[in-house]
Amino acid sequence: MPAESQVVCGESSAQLVLASKSMALLRVPENITIRDGAATCISDFNWVPDIPGGQPRLRLQDVGTSLRVKDLLCNGGTTWDSQVVKVLFMVEDAEKILKINTLNPSLPDRKKCAFMI
């Protein structure tokens, strides 16, 4: 089984996977389906569909590495806290976030990845 070294949240969403002693693969998330929001930072790429550049634009730059998507949820993780989303993100991006309807507090976020050598 390959050993993995995960990069700290906020620095990158990529993971370095050691495929053998001499080769490493970079696993890069192509998209993330938000469910419980616990594993995804708000500064991660590709968790909001149709965002130009892949990363939602924050109004407050200092919070990006410390908050996870779960911190934007209310009612036990079943709905978005629209006030928090609208305060943290630019209007266009906030609207796209609030349209995400895959929330499920009993399931982890799902990441679809690509591998690069």
Q: Is pLDDT above 80 for 82?
A: yes
Instruction: Give pLDDT tens digits for 17-64.
Output: 555 556 666 666 578 999 999 999 999 999 999 998 899 999 987 776
- Find tokens 């349209």 and name the residue: 99
More confident residue, 48 or 16: 48
pLDDT at res. 114: 72
pLDDT at res. 87: 95
Structure tokens at 16: 């370095």
Pick from 83, 102, 22: nearest CA to 110: 102
pLDDT at res. 27: 61
Helix (H) or strand (E) holding 113: strand 110-116
Residues 18, 67: Cα–Cα separation, whole Å: 29
Boundaries of every domain in the chain: 3-116
Q: Is pLDDT above 60 for 11?
A: no
What's the pTM? 0.74
Which residues partner with 79 through β-bridges? Answer: 74
Please answer whether residues 23 and 115 qualify as being in contact, where contact means their C-beta atoms are separated by less than 8 angstroms. Answer: no
